[in-house]
Amino acid sequence: MDERRAAASPPLEAALAIEGATLVDPELGVVEDALLLADPARILWVGARSQAPAWRLRPAGERVGARGRFLMPGMVNAHSHAAMTLMRGYADDLSLMPWLETRIFPVEARLRPEDTYWGALLAAVEMLEAGVTAFADMYFFMEETARAVVEAGGRAVLARGMVEPGDGSGERALAEAEALFRDWHGAAGGRIRVMLGPHGVYTTTRAFLGRVAERAAALGARVHIHLSENDDENRRSQATYGKSPAEVCAETGLFQVGCLAAHCVKVSPRDIELLAEHRVGVAHNPVSNLKLASGIAPVVEMRRAGVTVGLGTDGAASTNRLEMFEEMRLASVLQKVRLDDASALPAREAFAMATLESARALGWADEIGSLEAGKACDAVLVDPARSPALWPHFDPFSALVYSAEPAAVEAVWVAGRKVVEDGRVRTVDVERLRHEVTRRAAFLTREEG
Ligand SMILES: [Zn+2]
């Protein structure tokens, strides 16, 4: 009966067909000899080639033979500061507060809009070549980051980082954040979204957080904040308010507007309840948390409580590499050693965190995070032949989480447009990019005589 129905319906027209790969997806699982059809911005149909409906490729449509490859959704980096690539390797081996206050803030004081553009363009290129098709970012001069993302061909949700030391300067930042929302939210065919980004409880005031919550509710914007990154941050919050950062956020209304909270390393059982109750999305950044000696987040406990936990890289100044294979692998192995349980956070769960869970944490799972029909065609082809670390391989989730590296990424599509081919971004002049970032990084970090 199914065959008769297929024969009676008109053939499906596709502009893009990716054929023969092993599909690896957080929702669909593993599908051997898969077929993905796209129009090309959206996925029309995906599944086993043997079960495909009648279809034909549009004239001049693209047909990609992908036998022997893994086809996976583009990874979603749930927390980053893209332009901090300019400070990559500049301030290593320091803990969070001295790192920020003695090294990072002085450099950021010199940052000009065009530096942000080049730094963000580098981040976008680096991420795309590593199979990361979308990221959540918080920084300054975000219209420059938006331009860079659009040019590179990726996708991002951007927040103008706002601090309020108590002198009222936060209001100016908030006005800029609202302008960014009006100008860019939904831009570039929906590839750019905008959130409001109060930097953290320790870098703002309670009154300001309340203001941000109020404006976010009025605009229909979500918020992106750093939360309980380490003990020192919690101590500051307790000293000022007698409450944890999560309690302050819940109290000011910030958790009620749709919140993405980065880190959540030092969260109490009560904090975890608050995160779950308010459906706060968490961005877990294992490499950054390890390098700044912040700690290991209670990922398993948060997930068990029903909290959505995605994965992020944080900025390149603290993580050095903006790629998610290492974040997946570390997210998994850290929970094992923390809980003394080798079965904790298995590969398939770490894979879901880097894709669909991150998309949910961003409030973007309607379009990205998995390769289901109807979603955007943000897809990555991983070729095991490009990386000896993938020889041999058995379970595809295990191969992608524990063995894969960016060098294995062969091709990347965002909204059906091929932006990475043969492992290299094709949308950007990378020689010019290298020259610009090298020159600008030297200027920004020069020592005053
Ligand atoms: Zn951060």
**How many A from CA of 351 to the centre of ligand 1?**
21
**How many A from CA of 347 to the centre of ligand 1?**
25
Task: Please state, in angstroms and rounded to a whole number, the distance separating the CA atoms of residues 297 and 223.
Answer: 21
The number of beta carbons lying within 10 Å of the beta carbon of residue 431 is 8
3-state secondary structure of 190: helix
Structural domains present in the chain: 2-73+373-425 (2.30.40.10), 75-361 (3.20.20.140)
**How many A from CA of 283 to the centre of ligand 1?**
10
**How many A from CA of 226 to the centre of ligand 1?**
6
HEC string of 252-284 equals HCHHHHCEEEEECCCCCHHHHHHHHHCCCEEEE
**How many A from CA of 79 to the centre of ligand 1?**
6
**How many A from CA of 314 to the centre of ligand 1?**
5
Predicted confidence at residue 1, as pLDDT, reads 41
**How many A from CA of 391 to the centre of ligand 1?**
35
**How many A from CA of 386 to the centre of ligand 1?**
32
How confident is the model over 180-239, as pLDDT tens digits? 999 999 999 999 999 999 999 999 999 999 999 999 999 999 999 999 999 999 999 999
Nearest to 78 by CA among 366, 413, 359, 371: 359
| DSSP code string of 5-31 | HHHHSPPEEEEEEEEEEEEEETTTEEE
**How many A from CA of 224 to the centre of ligand 1?**
10
How confident is the model over 307-353, as pLDDT tens digits? 999 999 999 998 999 999 999 999 999 999 999 999 999 999 999 99
Share of the chain above pLDDT 70, in %: 98
**How many A from CA of 262 to the centre of ligand 1?**
7
**How many A from CA of 200 to the centre of ligand 1?**
10
398 — phi, psi (to 5°)? -60, -45
Answer yes or no: is pLDDT of 449 > 70: no
